[in-house]
């Protein structure tokens, strides 16, 4: 089973959409997604600097739009319909929802635009952030988190845990990390997937309620517990709840293994999830689509395995 994965916040880099919009059709789609997100994705994806696109309200719709451009290209060639399933990490679940036709692309980006703005507002209430912890023993890590009132936010598998909380506590963690670990600060402006995002959940729930999601056209896994979701309305509700609950990407990868994954293909802006797969799904081929030129290799991989 070939599985397409969709990255989350922090995967964006300045100018990464420039090669994608050389195609007039992709440029037109990006304009439509910009209107839905109420954000100038064309500017932010081509000329805005790193600090600008680090802003949660900009980064989230930008990442989802990039994934949708990738999925649209794979679907146009008939290759997306030949993969076994799809999943997204954090905000990447909205990309996956569009890829599995649970939500229309414009509705997915419209919700993400609101999600990003609501999470930015929630993050502004208290100075918070996120850090990755590499290695170590989970019992030691959890004990240190309790001492500092920090929260596990992303269980990424492969020996990586992302934690979140107040910046002073994250600084203390970096200064005195648990034994055998390395702590890396992440370029995100808030304690996502924790109680600090409660107000954003309520805003997103109100916006998502009028939508009529469809049941997935592809096998679709949830960050909630790594299970397959077959009901579109349930997936919509899970998209809302995951704003303040931990991402269980470790359980998603366990489910991929149980499903007999034969390859992982990551859509733009790719890199982070294939890195996790190389550690958590050792021996499974991976492919990162970073630019339109990479679509050739992705299609060839699908042709060889599907």
> Which residues are annotated as catalytic?
90, 193
Give the helix ranges, DSSP H, for the chain: 24-37, 41-46, 50-54, 56-76, 92-99, 105-123, 138-148, 167-175, 198-208, 232-241, 249-258, 272-280, 294-305
Q: How far is CA 40 from CA 44, 46, 127, 200, in A?
A: 6, 10, 26, 22
For residues 92 and 67, the answer to whether their CB atoms sit within 8 Å is yes
Three-state SS at 305: helix
Residue entry with tokens 């030949």: 82
For residues 294 and 264, the answer to whether their CB atoms sit within 8 Å is no
Instruction: Give the Cα separation of 238 and 190 in Å (integer).
Output: 20
For residues 95 and 72, the answer to whether their CB atoms sit within 8 Å is no
For residues 191 and 120, the answer to whether their CB atoms sit within 8 Å is no
The two tokens of residue 253 are 């990868």
142: number of CA atoms within 13 Å, CB side? 4
């Amino acid at each position: 089973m070939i599985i397409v994965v969709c990255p989350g916040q922090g995967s964006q880099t300045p100018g990464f959409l420039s090669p994608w919009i050389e195609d007039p059709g992709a440029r037109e789609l990006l304009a439509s997604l910009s209107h839905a997100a109420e954000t100038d994705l064309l500017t932010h994806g081509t000329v805005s600097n790193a600090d600008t696109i680090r802003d949660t309200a900009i980064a989230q719709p930008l990442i989802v739009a990039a994934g949708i451009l990738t999925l649209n290209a794979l679907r146009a060639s008939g290759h997306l319909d030949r993969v076994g399933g799809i999943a997204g990490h954090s905000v990447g679940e909205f990309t996956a929802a569009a890829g599995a036709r649970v939500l229309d692309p414009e509705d997915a980006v419209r919700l993400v635009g609101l999600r990003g703005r609501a999470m930015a507002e929630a993050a502004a209430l208290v100075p918070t952030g996120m850090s990755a912890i590499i290695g170590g023993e989970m019992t030691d890590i959890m004990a240190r988190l309790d001492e500092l009132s920090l929260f596990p936010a992303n269980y990424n598998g492969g020996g990586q845990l992302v934690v979140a909380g107040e910046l002073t506590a994250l600084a203390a963690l970096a200064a005195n990390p648990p034994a055998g670990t390395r702590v890396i600060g992440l370029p995100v402006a808030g304690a996502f997937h924790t109680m600090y995002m409660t107000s954003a959940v309520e805003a997103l729930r109100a916006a998502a309620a009028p939508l009529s999601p469809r049941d997935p056209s592809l096998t679709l896994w949830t960050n909630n517990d790594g299970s397959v979701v077959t009901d579109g309305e349930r997936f919509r509700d899970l998209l809302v709840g995951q704003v303040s609950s931990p991402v269980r990407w470790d359980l998603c990868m366990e489910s991929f293994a149980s499903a007999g994954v034969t390859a992982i293909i990551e859509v733009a802006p790719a890199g982070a999830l294939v890195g996790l797969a190389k550690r958590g799904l050792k021996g499974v081929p991976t492919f990162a689509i970073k630019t339109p030129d990479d679509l050739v290799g992705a299609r060839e991989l699908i042709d060889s395995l599907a």
